[in-house]
Amino acid sequence: MNPDDIKLQELLRGHRPMPALPPRFQQNVWRRIEDAEAPAQSASWLDALATLILRPRFALAAAAVLLLAGVSAGTLEGRQSAQHDARMNYLAAVAPDSAR
Amino acid sequence: MNRSLLILLGALALGAAIFAGSFFTARHTTMRCCENPADDLNWLRLEFHLGDAEMARIRELHAGYLAKCAELCTKIAAKKRELNPLVGAGTHLTTEAQAKLNEIAALRAQCQARMLEHFVAVSRAMPPEPGARYLAEMKKLTLGHHEQMEQSMSGDSGHEHQP
């Protein structure tokens, strides 16, 4: 290599302007890379709940629980109502208002 | 509207429909199964879990009691019809009206005595524990009927009559 070329290259390198990097440049670059690689998060708790509801297992289990609760409460209530009506019938037969 | 919110509202509506549907169906079925409006004594069978032999004995007692009760109730109704013209127009209570009131009260007392006798007889036709429970319940439901009124009219409730 020509010694003049080497001098010229050094001269050119020294003359090239090197702008100052903004503060925390490297840290910001890495943060943006990590953000880009991270999996997309759900937007809110509402979306998470909707996703849960749409799961067939969860939907079936919830429907079964509600059905069971409804049948139990209805049976209990029906039995109480029937007993109350039957008691009123008996009372009306054995103890009419005029005799009480 | 937000899709997730729609899903949530739809699920809530569906859940409410499932619960309400099963509740009312079960309630209706149970009531139809347990209810027997034609039988006055159905309550005894339901509440005190009586057997056929006990129910048969109680049916006999019930039929005998109803005849006496109807007779007394007819007498009370007749006395009340006689009382109405005596208290209807006057501004003061006549001796005739007072006498009629006494007669009605005597008939009512007689009716209550028959009723209590019947309750005791029915309770004896039951096993001891349900019998005692039945008697206590019937006393509360029949004799206790007047107690509330008497208590509210007496000084116990804070209400006092002025002399």
Asked whether residue A61 is assigned to any structural domain, the reply reads yes
DSSP B158: T
Cβ–Cβ gap B42/A75 under 8 Å: no
| B38 residue type, one letter | A
Of the partner residues A47, A77, A99, the one whose CB lies closest to the CB of residue B27: A77
**A79 to chain B: which residues are within 8 Å by CB?**
30, 34
pLDDT (tens digit per residue) in B130-142: 999 999 988 887 7
Residue A74, in any domain of the structure: yes
Cα within 13 Å of Cα(A14), Cβ side: 6
Question: Is there a domain that residue A51 lies in?
Answer: no
- CB B135 within 8 Å of CB B118: no
- Total domains in chain A come to 1
Any residues with CB less than 8 A from the CB of A74 and at least 6 apart, and which? B22, B23, B24, B25, B26, B27, B28, B30
Q: Residue A34 domain-assigned?
A: no
Residue B62's Cα: distance from chain center in Å?
Answer: 15
pLDDT, tens digit, 9 for 90 and up, residues B32-70: 887 777 788 888 888 888 888 999 999 999 999 888 888
pLDDT at B154: 64
- Domain membership of residue A20 (yes or no) is no
pTM: 0.61
Domain extent, residue A98, equals 56-100
- Å between B37 CA and nearest CA of chain A: 7
Interface touch B19/A79, C-beta < 8 Å: no
CB contact under 8 A, A95 and B142: yes
List, for residues A36-94, the tens digit of each pLDDT value. 877 655 568 888 888 898 999 999 999 999 999 999 999 999 999 988 888 888 888 88
pLDDT at B155 over 80: no
Asked if A100 and B5 come within 8 Å (Cβ–Cβ), the reply is no
Q: Residue A26: pLDDT above 80? A: yes
